[in-house]
C-alpha cells in the first residue's frame, strides 16, 4: 500500500528473503503543510531475522527537504 496522504505508517515484510543487499527507498511526493514546523522527515525501523534469536533492529531517519518528487535512499543493509 502506498500511503500518500497522511503520516502512515507503511509496513512491508519479506518472509522468504534471499541473501544479498537490500535498499529502502522512499518516494517523496512533497508536502502540503506550512513550513513553520520544519522539513518533512521519514523514519524506517528495519528488523533482520525477525522472530528469531538472531533478530537485529536498525533505525534510519532522513529529512526530505528539497527532494520533492524524487526517490530518497533511507537505508541499505545486507544479510
What are the pLDDT digits (tens) for 56-74?
A: 898 988 887 665 557 888 8
* Dist. CA 65–CA 16, nearest whole Å: 35
What are the pLDDT digits (tens) for 4-29?
A: 666 667 778 887 888 899 998 887 77
Grid look-up 538472531 returns: 54
C-alpha cell at 48: 533482520
Query: Is residue 16 domain-resident?
Result: no
Query: Is residue 1 domain-resident?
Result: no
- Would you state the pLDDT for residue 53? 94
| Domain with 72 in it | 21-78
Q: What DSSP character marks residue 19?
A: S
Task: Kindly tell me if the per-residue pLDDT of 54 is higher than 80.
Answer: yes
Q: What is the domain count for the chain?
A: 1
Q: What DSSP character marks residue 37?
A: G
Amino acid at each position: 500500500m502506498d500511503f500518500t496522504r497522511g503520516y502512515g505508517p507503511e509496513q512491508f515484510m519479506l518472509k522468504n528473503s534471499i541473501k544479498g543487499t537490500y535498499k529502502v527507498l522512499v518516494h517523496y511526493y512533497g508536502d502540503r503543510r506550512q513550513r513553520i514546523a520544519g522539513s518533512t522527515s521519514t523514519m524506517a525501523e528495519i528488523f533482520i531475522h525477525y522472530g528469531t534469536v538472531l533478530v537485529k533492529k536498525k533505525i534510519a531517519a532522513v529529512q526530505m527537504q528539497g527532494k520533492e518528487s524524487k526517490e530518497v535512499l533511507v537505508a541499505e543493509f545486507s544479510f
